[in-house]
Chains A and B, each alone.
Chain A
Amino acid sequence: LDGNNEVHLGFIHRRLRTHEKREMQKEILSILGLPHRPKPNLSQGKYNSAPLFMLDLYNTISGEEKIPVEVKLSRYHSTTQSLPLATYQETAFLNDADMVMSFVNLVEYDRELSPQRRHHKEFKFNLSLIPDSEAITAAEFRLYKECVSRTIRNETFLLKVYQVVKEHPDREADLFLLDSRRLWAADEGWLEFDITATSNLWVMSPVHNLGLQVSLETSSGLSISSKEAGLVGRSGALEKQPFMVAFFKISNVHIRAPR
């Protein structure tokens, strides 16, 4: 491949024989360090926001060798206008990372509790399958907010992201505030929240992985649902689904067993 992922015309496209195909699959999986070929359940996954975001990162890596950073960033934004925007900081994480992983939000339904209790939205991610040779260098939680035209033009919302510390069957969970942000009703775009420390805790101690909660209040302190504030949930557009992304540094070298 040349820098633009173009395959040199000289390379022939030849149908592989069955045994060649089998051998090649075995070799490639071994090089990739994978025990078997993954069988993802892609009922909704392929065009979800996380894969699109990751494809953006992949395109950045594939084309970055020859392009200086300044040009790269401007080109990056131009290519991602219709895709989630990655910040300069994320590109820096990307440069340092050996692996980047996006995680599907596991909460099958957007649990918005009854008005008697505070509106909040739950998110859970399964980080138990990360190879133990990988260490998280940065992790982000990403939500997409749409412009809310229904409310007063200059209405603001206070958005808070919590790490769930402990759950109780009969009352609110114990929470730890990770981040809070004041948003305009008219704001539109991706919101990123640094959850590096929380993710590291979840990897080191999976029993503490009780997910995140997001709550919103109006400027007058009234609790409102995330949908009213314009946050896109499971029922929203596929390419605006919430997800988490983590950047990893590998700590040891993968040695392939000789064949």
Chain B
Amino acid sequence: STGGKRRQQNRNRSTQPQDGSRSSAPADYNSSDQKTPCRRHELFVSFRELGWQDWIIAPEGYAANYCEGECSFPLNAHMNATNHAIVQTLVHLMNPENVPKPCCAPTKLHAISVLYFDDNSNVILKKYQNMVVLACGCH
């Protein structure tokens, strides 16, 4: 029973406003002063940093991108993943056949080659070519 009580406390805590930015009702979520612009960041993923230098021989790591903020959904500029979900639910209720279909933009990735040891100390050189990511929104 104590578990139940703690769970109840957690639930209460999550619905209480934690900082000013969340005190407004969800309907304000899209007001312009809420949006953090979508930005692409660059990061070098080092296999050494990941603690994998004992089995990955090459490369040292790779340059990667990731996104942060209110990134637009492939449908069009003003609709992002969150807005799209809200609209989809609403239209679905009133006129199901008009539900907009989300599209995921396939993105071709650069070919990479990785050289690594397997569990039996054999060495594997693998080429990863024709990698396509089917992702919606920011990937």
CB of B123 within 8 A of CB of A50, answer: yes
**Interface stretch among A56-64, A189-197, A219-227?**
A56-64
Residue B59 at the chain A interface, CB threshold 8 Å: yes
Bound state CA distance, A216 and B127, in angstroms? 38
CB of A40 within 8 A of CB of B45, answer: no
CB distance from B138 to the nearest CB of A (A): 14
CB of A58 within 8 A of CB of B57, answer: yes
CB distance from B60 to the nearest CB of A (A): 8
Q: Tell me the interface secondary structure of chain B in the complex.
A: strand
Within 8 A of A (CB), among B84-129: 113-129
Residue B38 at the chain A interface, CB threshold 8 Å: no
CB distance from A246 to the nearest CB of B (A): 10
- Chain B's closest residue to A41 (CB) is B121
Count chain B CB atoms within 10 A of each CB in A11, A31, A98 and give the residue with the most. A11
Query: Residues of B contacting A207 with CB < 8 Å?
Result: none
Query: Residues of A contacting B8 with CB < 8 Å?
Result: none
Which A residues contact B (CB, under 8 angstroms)?
1, 5, 7-8, 10-16, 21, 24-25, 28, 31-32, 37-42, 45, 50-51, 54-55, 57-59, 61-62, 97-104, 126, 129, 253, 258
Chosen A-B contacts, 16 in total, with CB atoms closer than 8 Å, are A11-B42, A12-B43, A14-B44, A15-B49, A16-B49, A21-B50, A37-B55, A40-B119, A40-B120, A40-B121, A55-B57, A62-B113, A99-B124, A99-B125, A101-B125, A129-B118
Which B residues contact A (CB, under 8 angstroms)?
42-46, 49-52, 54-55, 57-59, 61-64, 113-131, 134
